[in-house]
Amino acid sequence: MTRSWQNPLRDERDKRLPTIAGPCGLVIFGVTGDLSRKKLMPAIYDLANRGLLPPGFSLVGFARRDWADEDFSQVVHDAVKEHARTPFRQEVWDQLVEGCRFVQGSFDDDAAFDNLVQTIQDLDQVRGTSGNHAFYLSIPPAAFPKVIQQLARTGLAEPKNHEWRRVVIEKPFGHDLTSAKQLNKMVNEIFPEESVFRIDHYLGKETVQNIMAFRFANQLFEPIWNGNYVDHVQITMAEDIGLGGRAGYYDGIGAARDVIQNHLLQLLALTAMEEPVSFDPQAVRAEKAKILAATKPVGPFSETTARGQYTGGWQGGQKVPGLLQEGGFAKDSITETFAAIELAVDTRRWAGVPFYLRTGKRLGRRVTEIAVVFKRAPHLPFDATSTEELGQNAIVFRVQPDEGVTMRFGSKVPGSTMEVRDVNMDFSYGHSFTESSPEAYERLILDVLLGEPSLFPKNDEVELSWQILDPIMKAWRASGKPEPYQAGTWGPASAERMLTRTGRHWRRP
Ligand code: BG6
């Protein structure tokens, strides 16, 4: 149930995150992890600072460390000071820290979960959290079932009367279709689907939500948003960082499971889906699921996919190690750090339009974008030499870092001859809006507390995404090692070949 109330700390002029969470608390499992320190704790503070949390909001950390409430509060404090987006205000912190508690224990420790029950009951009394609690699983996937069972055993999963209980699950949600189905079944036996919030933080990004505004609020683009005009779509999520320090999570997972299965397929769904009948969570999720159900990998995979692993090289003037030299990775690891795949969306709108998805670590620069590339004009009434520098028209959603939308088209070069060259027309958030965008986790945590599920993939979306990826992963397992590519480049040679075989090219953002 969605609740809202008036919070005195809130700035009424702030329209970006307009609804305030009612009385509630959040329990984080895996509170000593990086995600928690760098994203979750700062996001909670930023929400509090903007007056979007109730004054009695409570934050409970659960972990093995031998910490007292004060130690935990200090960790939250340091994380907020280091990573929060909004300025530190003592009065906001003083109010937040009053609600910080720590419960020590491991996930198979019944007594620790009994303590958690006690802590939550106390908070309901002293902080007025009214039995409304969300449980955030920022823990290794192998531990999901154990924690969810403990929540069931202790009755924490079951709300009484007007209370609510919700579970937030970080990715990866399974490692293939079979395991995702098992996990969904297990979770749904304990938490009804409307209480399950699967995190895909890309959906919390402003630029990603803007894809729907761009497509469905304008008359200009939708008529050409189909295979009559679109030649192909390229979705790129490139990162310049390496995987030092992340071996525990990443080795054996790889780029396709880490980001294609979730972030990139969600971007594809938003780019390709039909207009939802409304912006109700059900309507939007149903349209995304329909597109994912129509999306198929295109073979032969030896030609239509690419898989790479970075070796040492130079990046930003610095010498950087290859994956196999990063601490914690097996010396013969075949985990891919680059993945590119071709997909077809089998609908009337998209028949014959390839969707190319690529992602990688230690690439040329950090950029995420969706480029919708249009067919060439059917006829060019110019000399061939006049249009030598004319490419294909494109609309590019710049998801990050330079958030905005670019349109590329041909224009006459000033001068006495008719020469046509590509130019860009730009919309940039920085120039058009004075408000800065909230962090994805701010938006998503608030939506969990409000019970607003639109930005969280449903069980069927997650399964459909694995269904798309599974055949590719199977082929890759059989084909042995990924292809090496040098750090600081744009991936392995096979990625280039994937497109050049059809006369196309990856963009160099
Ligand atoms: C995470 C992946 O989901 O997204 C990471 O697990 C990746 O490997 C990160 O680095 C990137 O997020 P962002 O928001 O910086 O693009």
Digit-coded pLDDT (tens) for 376-417: 999 999 988 888 889 999 999 999 999 999 999 999 999 999
Give distance in angstroms: CA of 141 to centre of ligand 1.
Answer: 17
Give tens-digit pLDDT for 467-509.
Answer: 999 999 999 999 889 999 999 999 999 999 999 999 999 998 8
Nearest Cα residue to atom 14 of ligand 1: 202
Residue 6 predicted with pLDDT over 60: no
Give tens-digit pLDDT for 195-222.
Answer: 999 999 999 999 999 999 999 999 999 9
Complete domains list, the chain, with CATH? 25-170 (3.40.50.720), 203-375+456-500 (3.30.360.10)
Ligand 1 closest atom vs CA 368: 16
Full-model pTM: 0.94
* pLDDT at site 11: 52
* pLDDT at site 435: 82
132 within 8 A of 163, measured Cβ to Cβ:
yes
* pLDDT at site 15: 54
Ligand 1 closest atom vs CA 239: 10
Nearest to 43 by CA among 142, 143, 168, 158: 168
Give distance in angstroms: CA of 126 to centre of ligand 1.
Answer: 37
Q: C-alpha 465: how far from its chain's center?
A: 14
Give distance in angstroms: CA of 260 to centre of ligand 1.
Answer: 11
Nearest Cα residue to atom 3 of ligand 1: 259
* pLDDT at site 437: 85
Nearest to 424 by CA among 326, 316, 509, 308: 509
Give distance in angstroms: CA of 389 to centre of ligand 1.
Answer: 35
Give tens-digit pLDDT for 435-475.
Answer: 888 999 999 999 999 999 999 999 999 999 999 999 999 99
Query: 14 pLDDT band (50/70/90 cuts)?
Result: low
Mean pLDDT taken over the chain: 94
Catalytic residue among 162, 263, 379, 431: 263
Q: Which residues are annotated as a binding site for substrate?
A: 201, 205, 239, 258, 361
Q: Is residue 329 packed enough to be buried (19+ CB in 10 Å), middle (13-18) or exposed (0-12)?
A: buried
Ligand 1 closest atom vs CA 246: 8
SS3 415: coil
Q: Is residue 360 packed enough to be buried (19+ CB in 10 Å), middle (13-18) or exposed (0-12)?
A: buried
Q: What does the pLDDT average to over 80-107?
A: 97
Q: What does the pLDDT average to over 308-322?
A: 94
* pLDDT at site 16: 52
Q: Which residues are annotated as a binding site?
A: 64, 171, 201, 205, 239, 258, 361
CA separation for the pair 394, 391 (Å, rounded): 9
**Token digits of residue 226:** 């189909």
Query: 4 pLDDT band (50/70/90 cuts)?
Result: very low
Give distance in angstroms: CA of 283 to centre of ligand 1.
Answer: 27
Q: What does the pLDDT average to over 289-296?
A: 98
Asked whether the bond before 354 is cis by omega within 30 degrees of 0, the reply is: no
Residue found under tokens 């189905």: 181
The conformation of residue 489, written as its DSSP 8-state character, comes to B
Nearest to 3 by CA among 17, 16, 18, 21: 21
Nearest Cα residue to atom 9 of ligand 1: 259
Residue to probe by mutation, ligand 1, list 83, 169, 201, most atoms within 8 Å of CB: 201
Ligand 1 closest atom vs CA 241: 10
Nearest to 288 by CA among 48, 171, 120, 463: 463
Nearest Cα residue to atom 11 of ligand 1: 239
CA separation for the pair 213, 204 (Å, rounded): 14
What is the full DSSP assignment across 156-201?
A: TT---TT--EEEEEPSP--SSHHHHHHHHHHHHHHS-GGGEEE--G
Give distance in angstroms: CA of 142 to centre of ligand 1.
Answer: 20
Reply yes or no on whether 505 is catalytic: no
Q: Is 239 in the pocket of ligand 1 (CB under 6 A)?
A: yes
Q: Is 230 in the pocket of ligand 1 (CB under 6 A)?
A: no
**Both ends of the chain: CA-CA distance in Å?**
43
